Structure formats: structure tokens, C-alpha cells
Chain A
Amino acid sequence: MKPLWKDNLREIWRTKARFISLILITMLGSMSVVGIQAAVIDMRDVGDRTYKAQNLYDIHIQSATGFTGTDVTAVRETSGVYAVMPTYSLDAYAEVGDETVAVRTCALPGELNHITLTSGKLPEKPDEIAIERRWMREGRLEIGDEVVLDGFEPFTITGTVSSPFYITHERGRTSLGNGQVRFFAYLHPDAYSFPVYTDLYIIMEESRTIHQVSDEYDAASEGWKESFEDIYPHWFISNRSDGAAFDSYHQDTQRLQKIGYVFPMVFFLVAVLVSLTTMSRMVEEHRTQIGIYKALGYSPASIAAKYTVYAVLSGGLGGFAGIFIGSEAFPRIISNAYAFLYDMPPIETPVPWGIAGFAVAAAVLSVGVVTVLSVSGAMKGEPAILMRPKSPKAGKRVLFEKIPFFWNRLDFIGKVTARNIFRYKKRFLMTLAGVAGCTALLLTAFGLRDSVYSVAAKHYTEIVQYDALVYISSKPDEPFSNQQLYIREETAQIEGYSVSIIVPEDFSALESFINVGSVQGLLVTEKLARSLDGTVFGRPIDAVVENYIMHYIYMPPEMYRDLFDREPEPNGVLIKGDYDAEELTAHRDVRAVVETERMRNMIGDSTEAMEVVTVVLIVLACALAFIVLFNLTVINITERTRELATIKVLGFQDTETAMYLYRENLVVTLLGIALGLFGGVYLEGFIITSVEIDIMKFPQYIAVSSFVLAAALSLFFSLFVNAATYRKLAKIDMVESLKNVE
């Protein structure tokens, strides 16, 4: 082996700690870049695979008059159509426990929209039914039990199925009851005695070859929809984006992708900066050695190779480790969090070589190039000059000294600390950035949790004042409670949002049931209002009201009559105070009771998914803080060995020597924490709006305890790193450090 290579391997062995910390920091950088993007890719791929395996429809057509065989043939012959499946569906009331709920029934599918049998068997006769598991559970049913659907003969349950239409808990809207479908069920086609088909499902030729969870698919899908609308103008044509769940799945991956751009960039930049500082420090330390090699006649290229190999090797190892860990662990953790929201098969986790290659190449190249630059900079002088020590960086007065008010108030050590902080500006800024970045990330993570947790609390304590919403089929003879308000609730699709329109019988009474403020007239909730231009239904909006869950439009009865030309027949009652839920449910006019307390708990449960994301962020932020601080503190010590040895010789005890250095670290850490808390508020605001889901508006709320916790954790890390490097300080050999000029 060439001596230079031997030297290199020994160097790695000798400076294990530095080599490993370089590996770790590059690993963290590439892990965060690759990990989140890999999660996005994996989640999209599993969607694409699943949709294709299910032969999921691209276009869904419904018609008031139904479809005949001729219609089906016409559609089948439309250009670009790959397959058409005519089928039946019908929404019907069913009794579940004491409640009357709307159930969507579909005929067992043919070649499209494959369903999955989860237990039992599929219906084989018109009097058999396969229902969803949730219905089975909530209705306390078993296979073989009988269920009754309004308008049908009784059915026998043969099994449970899952449907490709429903990837979330949302079951869609219906014209029945309160407008919400509660459960779905599949029937034998012969159960429907219709002369015509109710639905046509279509797969387009083009969709078989494109990725189905992509902007490309969305654009193509809009095109197909439009072309069908042109040919068949009386039919109601919809595509997957109109089915909210498919769209929100895609949107969620887009949000994740956005977070995946911002967060890892912070990580990656800090990682690259720290590796650069470390490598240029290493070259500096080796100035004399470089001089010796040069004097021996080694070419600049072969000398530079030693350091470049060191940098590239650590960067490469860390980069690849980060790729494998990132593309394996991150997608699993993140998709697991989303499993609360979407019912999707388990993901596969291939390495996304495109992004991975880019991340590693960028890291290795930037560190490699800077290493070459600093080596060639260091090699500029004659060997004789190189072998002599570099003159130390001259001291300077700092700006601070020009303000006598502050300067004169500092004690001697305070002055020394101030000077030193400003002397090593590069490292000072790096440490500041490291601590600030970590604090900001921690605050964002904690704040995210605060915001998400506070959604349910804020909505159901500050906005919703009623204790139950009772859906009724007609006004009861006697009021349910002495504090109640009749309302009409209808649902509508506005700007892609599913919106509830609430028409109270007495608008002036609404304020005490729902905190809508004192303005009377056309009121629109916050997030919906943001996507409107100040008007809705052609009327100017009178006020925007605070709201966190779902979207609402409140309007007085007169306006309703005016707009829709019909009476706002009450279909619900808001109740405040004590009520007997059982008695209410048993009432003949009552269809369903929605209790505020139960809703609040339900939302709380579902937001727990965010906890996972929060924990991932906290762990990453801590790891980053630790490695960055450790690296910079070690560089600080090695750079100043001579200075530290000098003060030890002067008789500074180990603790005093440590404090000499720690005081600087502490000041920078505190500054970094302050900056980080400030930046964290903005970062959290940005992230919050990126991760919001359609039906919720996350309040930007960070608890005081989160500020304290983020600051305390950062401070703890800084102190911990200082403590960890104490031994290194104590071990500084005075004799060796002062014998020669380094």
C-alpha cells in the first residue's frame, strides 16, 4: 500500500470520533431529505398499485333516468374508453340499534371496482347481503344475522367486505336523513328490480399507463370529465377528484412533500456546513504535514487526495446509511400515522434512487470540493513556510467595546468572553444556526401538537355551545328542552369543500348555541371564506366566523326562502343543558342524536396520528442539535488547545478552564435559543398551514409550556455536550501543547 494511503487509514483510525461524527451528520442530512420524499413516493405508489389492482373507475356517470343497454353501448364506443361497467346502487334507511341511519347499497361489481371479502362469503342470492365491518361492530351483528333495509325484503348477512370507494371513514352524502351516509353494503344484482342501470363506471385507456396518484392523472382526469360532459350533457359526470377521499389522499401526499422540502433543507444545509467546517479545520491542523509531503515531492493532487478521500468516504458512508435508514424507516412511520386516516394496504419501501443519488452526490460533491479548495489553499506556500506554524489569528477590538455603557459593566472574564465570541465568527454563527435551528424545530414539533390537540378543545368549547344536535323527521309536539333552537341543515359542495348550511329558526338565538358573533346575516366560516371572493350564492358575506372543524354557512330563514324558494323546514334541534340521550333517541320524531362530548373525543382520537409526526420531528431535531453542538465544541477545543493549555499553566483549575470555554458556549446557546423560539413561531405557522386537512383549520397556538420545553431541551443539549467534552478539556496536555508551535 502506498504510504499516503496508509497514512490516510491511520488518520481515520486516530480521529475515529471526528470521522464518525462526519458520518452521522451526513447520515442525518441524507436521511431527512430521502426519508420524507420516500414516504411520499411510497404512499403514492401504494395508491397507484391499489387503484390499478382494483380496476378502480376513472369516470362515474349517474342519471336521473338511469341507463339503458343502448346508453352503455354508446359509452363503450366513446373514444379513449377502455371498459364500462353498468351497475346499480341505492341509498336506504336501516335501523342500527336505536338509530335510523342511511346506508349506501351497491350491486356486487363485475370487472371494475373490485371489493375485498374480509370475512364470510359474498351474497349469492337476492336476499343476501355483505356489509362493512364497522356496521357489524356498531350494530353488534354477526354473519347469519338479519338486517332490514327500507324498501327491501329482509337480508341475511353472509360476510363483511371492504370497498375501493371508501379509503377514509367518510361515507359520502345522500339525499336521505341528515345527508350523511353512515354505512355501505353490497347486494346481489338481482336484489335490485330496476328496469335501468343507476350507475356507469368507466376506465379510460390512458389511465392504465399513467401513475394514478399524480398531478398528471388529475389533469388527464379533468380532461376526460369535460369530454364526457360535452357528449352527454344531461348526465351527472364525476371523476375521482370529486370523491373527496381520493383527492385528499393525493393532497396529503402533496402536503407531506412540501414539508419534505422545507424541513430536510434546514437539516441538509446545517449538515453540509458542519462537515465543511470540520474538513477545513482538519486541513488547517495538517498544515505542517502537508508541508512535509510537499517537501518530500508529493504532487499537490496526491496530497489533496488524502483529505478528499477522508471527506468523500465519511460523506459517502453517512449518505448511504441515511438513504437506507431514511427510505426504510420514515415511510413506515409516516404511513403508519396516515393509516389512522386512510385505509390502504401496507406500503413497499424501495430506495428512491433519484432523490437519494442527488442527496448523496450533493453532499459528497460540496464537501469534496471545499476540501480540495482548502487543501490547495493550504498548499500555496513553500514547504518551508508550511512547515512553520501559521501565525495565529490577530485579536481585534469588538464593536461592543465602543459602547462603554455595556463594556464597562462587564467584569474581566465577561470581556474576554465577549471578545472570544466575536473572534471566531464562523464557528459562532454555525453554533448559533445549529442551536437556533434545533430550537425552532423543537418548538415547531411541540407547537404542531398544541395546535392539533387544541383543535377539538377550541372547537367544542369555544365555538360549539350546544350540548347535542338532534336530527328530527318532523317537529315534535313538545320541545325537548327549555333551551333549544330549531335549525335546518343542508349540505352543499362549494369550492371543493363539503359545506353545511345552517338555517336557524330564530337567527338572533343562534349566538347562544354557536359562537358566531353578534352580526346577523350571511355568515361563513373562516377557511371556507378564504377560498371565496367575499360572496357566496351571489350574496355578499356579512361576517366571517371563527371555526376549526368542518365548514359552515349560517343564514337567516328569510334569506333561505329568497335564495332557494322554499321553506326551511327544520330537520334538527340544538339543545343546551341536561338531556336524556336514551329518551331522545327513543322519541318517534328523532332520527339521530349527535352529542358534542362524543364528537370532541372522536376528533381528539384521530388527531393522535399527528403525535407520530411530532415525535419524529423531535427525535430528528435532538439528534441534529447533539451532533452539531458536539462537532463544533470539539473543533472549538482543538482549535484553541494552545490557549487552553496556557491558561491551565497559569493555574486555572479544570473547572475554571472549562468555564472559560463554556461561558462562550452558554452565551451563544442562549442567543440561539432566543432566535430559535422566534423563528420557530414562523416555521410552525408555515408548517401548520401546509399540513391542514380540508375539514379542519388548525389554530396557530403554541402553549407556553412548549416554549419552555423547547428552550429547556436545547439548553440541556448544550450543557450535556459541554459536560461530555469536559474530559477532553481536562486531558489537554500542557507540556505537549506548549512545546512546539502547533
Chain B
Amino acid sequence: MVAKATQCHYTMIKVLVKKGTDLELNGRLCYIDTCVVNGGFDQMQSYVAFSNVVREYRSGGLSVRAADGVSFGLEEGRFSAIVGPSGAGKSTVLNILGGMDTITEGSVTVGGRELTGLSRRQRCAYRRDDVGFVFQFYNLIQNLTALENVELSSHIRKNALNPQCVLADVGLSDRVKNFPAQLSGGEQQRVAIARALAKNPKLLLCDEPTGALDYETGKGILQLLFDTCRSKGVTVVVITHNSAITPMADRIIKIKSGKVESVTDNPNPKPVAEIEW
């Protein structure tokens, strides 16, 4: 059986398919090798697909499941938010997606590529070429200027973007020669975003990017992330415990106790300026 679909992202493809069948997507024929059961829908393979992901941490005789059968999909070029209370397993999901952590069971694919069996070296190469990270505490190298921090990531990537231009894009063209300590929190986070973007990544993963910032500054950063997603077509994933900011996302994945509670699509995301928390 060949199922036909034309809509590739933005809204979930509500098509009933079975494993082992073919799906014609935007005129291309795809083979479905994994079906993710989620929210009562059979869901076709997305750009990012988590299926039954289990991550178990062992310490001493105890084992803790930080992710306990997580399944969801994310669409390419969209802005997604992973929300949930602290300790729910959001960061675990992000770390796995970013190639910083491995999984115990299940499978993770990004752009059709299986991350599960990657070696340490291959995961490193994946981080280098496909992923950009933004952290709550920026994690800039204190001893390098804004420009040099960006160069640090462009240095190791072949088709990197021009660091100067990226810094200009995030609105820091006049702060390139400043050290992190000479920049405000918001500015530091912009440098961090520029550093992630300079690698021209497919995925931009942000772990509580506004966590250390004040309200207004935080909004500015979210706006920047959203604009980046729309203008450059980068797949952006933001982790937050603040569900107030979810209305701006295309898709919201709620996680609780290591499990996906719900996946909600948002056909009309609210502009950041209109959100209040």
C-alpha cells in the first residue's frame, strides 16, 4: 500500500500508515521502518524521531530512568518546545538529541540518520556538523572575545558561516572585540547563539536559554531564536520549565516523569511580544 501525503511539516500528518508500507511524501517515495505511537495517532517518521527511548542511569545498585519510553517527532525547520517540571527528563532528551548522551533502549533518528549506534567519534562529528547548542549559563570561554568565541566553533567546521556576519545577525556587530565579562547577560546569550549558528547547524538546541535572564531580555532572546528558525529554516528545539512561553512554538512536547505526556501542534503560534508570564 502506498499512502500519499503532501504536507511535510508544520501540521502533523494525520495519516494512518503501517510499518513496512511506503509513503509518498512531496512526490518522493519513502519507506516507513518505524511507526511511533503517540497521542493515539500512528505517526510517520519525522525529521527528528524518538521512538521508545529509554535512558537508564545506574549508580551503585540503583537505576533511575531519566527517559522511560519517550516517543515523539519534530519537523524540519520548525520551532519546537519541550516543557515539563524540573527532573522530568527534558534535558536528558535534549542531550540525547545533541549527541552528548547515549540511550539504553529505543531509537533516535535525525534526518533519517540513526544516532543509536554511533561511535564516540561519530557522535562528536555529528555535534560538530549538525548541532548547535545554547545553554542557560551561556558557557562562553571567558578568555576569548565575542568574535573569538564564535570563531572557536567556525574554526572546526568546513562550511561555517562568517563569524562577523553571524554576530551582526544577532545584533552584536559593535561588541565583537569585547570579552564575555564585558557583556550583559543578554549579550552573552546572543554570542552563544551566534557561536551555535556559525556552524550552520541543522539543529539548534537550547537548554533553558532564558533561565538566567530577566523578563525583557529573555523575550528578546526568544524572538531571536524564533526569527532564526523562520528566516534560516533551522530546526530549533527549546527546553523550558516555563510553559507560559509555549504558545510561540509550532509544536509543544510535554514531558513528565520521563514520559511524553502530550504532543500538541500549534497552527498559529503567537508572536513573542504578545506572550506574558
Contacts of B148 in A (CB 8 A): 412, 415-416
Tell yes or no: B135 within 8 A of A by CB: yes
A424 (CB) vs chain B CBs: closest residue:
B143
A-side interface residues, number (CB < 8 Å): 31
Tell yes or no: B156 within 8 A of A by CB: yes
- Mark A392-427 against chain B: 1 for CB-CB distance below 8 A, else 0: 111110000000000000001101100110010000
Q: Are B121 and A738 in contact (CB under 8 A)?
A: no
Contact of A416 among B144, B153, B156 (CB under 8 A): B144
Q: Are B139 and A642 in contact (CB under 8 A)?
A: yes
Q: Are B101 and A735 in contact (CB under 8 A)?
A: yes
Q: Say how far A533's CB is from chain B's closest CB, in angstroms.
A: 61
Contacts of A394 in B (CB 8 A): 142, 179-182
A646 (CB) vs chain B CBs: closest residue:
B139
Interchain CA distance A39-B78 in the complex, whole Å = 78
Segment 131-172 of B: residues with Cβ below 8 Å from A = 131, 133, 135, 137, 139-145, 148, 151-153, 155-157
Q: Which of B3-11, B23-31, B122-130 contacts A (4 or more CB under 8 A)?
A: B122-130
Q: Are B141 and A646 in contact (CB under 8 A)?
A: yes
Q: Say how far B67's CB is from chain A's closest CB, in angstroms.
A: 13
B-side interface residues, number (CB < 8 Å): 37
Tell yes or no: B52 within 8 A of A by CB: no
Tell yes or no: B91 within 8 A of A by CB: yes
Q: Are B139 and A395 in contact (CB under 8 A)?
A: no
Contact of A656 among B91, B156, B182, B199 (CB under 8 A): B156
Contacts of A601 in B (CB 8 A): none
B124 (CB) vs chain A CBs: closest residue:
A653
Residues of A within 8 A of B (CB): 391-396, 412-413, 415-416, 419-420, 423, 642-643, 645-654, 656, 734-735, 738-739, 741
Contact of B133 among A415, A423, A649, A653 (CB under 8 A): A649
B182 (CB) vs chain A CBs: closest residue:
A394
Known: A395-B179, A652-B156. A423 touches B124 (CB 8 A): no
Contact of B143 among A413, A423, A647, A739 (CB under 8 A): A423
Contact of B121 among A419, A642, A653 (CB under 8 A): A653
Q: Are B156 and A649 in contact (CB under 8 A)?
A: no
Contact of B156 among A419, A420, A643, A650 (CB under 8 A): A650
Q: Are A419 and B143 in contact (CB under 8 A)?
A: yes
Contacts of B141 in A (CB 8 A): 395, 643, 646-647
Nearest first, the 10 A-B pairs at minimum CB distance are A651-B128, A394-B181, A395-B179, A395-B143, A651-B127, A392-B142, A646-B139, A650-B153, A395-B142, A423-B143
Q: Are B135 and A413 in contact (CB under 8 A)?
A: no
Interchain CA distance A88-B137 in the complex, whole Å = 95
Contacts of A645 in B (CB 8 A): 139
Tell yes or no: B273 within 8 A of A by CB: no
Interchain CA distance A324-B120 in the complex, whole Å = 48
Contact of A412 among B98, B151, B179 (CB under 8 A): B151
Q: Are A741 and B137 in contact (CB under 8 A)?
A: yes
Q: Say how far A394's CB is from chain B's closest CB, in angstroms.
A: 3
Known: A652-B156, A735-B101. A419 touches B144 (CB 8 A): yes
Q: Are A396 and B155 in contact (CB under 8 A)?
A: no
Interface contacts beyond A643-B142, A650-B199, A739-B91: sample of 11 additional A-B pairs, CB < 8 Å, sorted by A: A394-B182, A395-B181, A648-B124, A649-B139, A650-B156, A651-B153, A652-B124, A653-B128, A735-B91, A738-B135, A738-B137
> Which secondary structure characterizes the binding site on chain A?
helix
Interchain CA distance A648-B148 in the complex, whole Å = 16
Q: Say how far B86's CB is from chain A's closest CB, in angstroms.
A: 11
Q: Which of A412, A650, A741 has the most CB of B within 10 A?
A: A650
Interchain CA distance A656-B144 in the complex, whole Å = 18
Interchain CA distance A295-B101 in the complex, whole Å = 35
Tell yes or no: B100 within 8 A of A by CB: yes
Known: A392-B142, A396-B179, A654-B124. A647 touches B152 (CB 8 A): yes
Tell yes or no: B109 within 8 A of A by CB: no
Tell yes or no: B38 within 8 A of A by CB: no
Contacts of B179 in A (CB 8 A): 394-396
Contacts of A395 in B (CB 8 A): 141-145, 179-181
Contacts of B100 in A (CB 8 A): 649, 734-735
Interchain CA distance A650-B125 in the complex, whole Å = 10
Q: Are A420 and B143 in contact (CB under 8 A)?
A: yes
Tell yes or no: B257 within 8 A of A by CB: no
Known: A412-B151, A734-B100. A651 touches B129 (CB 8 A): yes
Interchain CA distance A395-B180 in the complex, whole Å = 8
Q: Say how far A134's CB is from chain B's closest CB, in angstroms.
A: 70
Interchain CA distance A645-B124 in the complex, whole Å = 12
Contacts of A643 in B (CB 8 A): 141-142
Q: Say how far A733's CB is from chain B's closest CB, in angstroms.
A: 9
Tell yes or no: B266 within 8 A of A by CB: no
B180 (CB) vs chain A CBs: closest residue:
A395
Q: Say how far A529's CB is from chain B's closest CB, in angstroms.
A: 58
Tell yes or no: B95 within 8 A of A by CB: yes
- Mark B68-98 against chain A: 1 for CB-CB distance below 8 A, else 0: 0000000000000000000000010001001
Interchain CA distance A416-B128 in the complex, whole Å = 19
Contacts of B157 in A (CB 8 A): 651
Segment 167-222 of B: residues with Cβ below 8 Å from A = 179-182, 195, 199
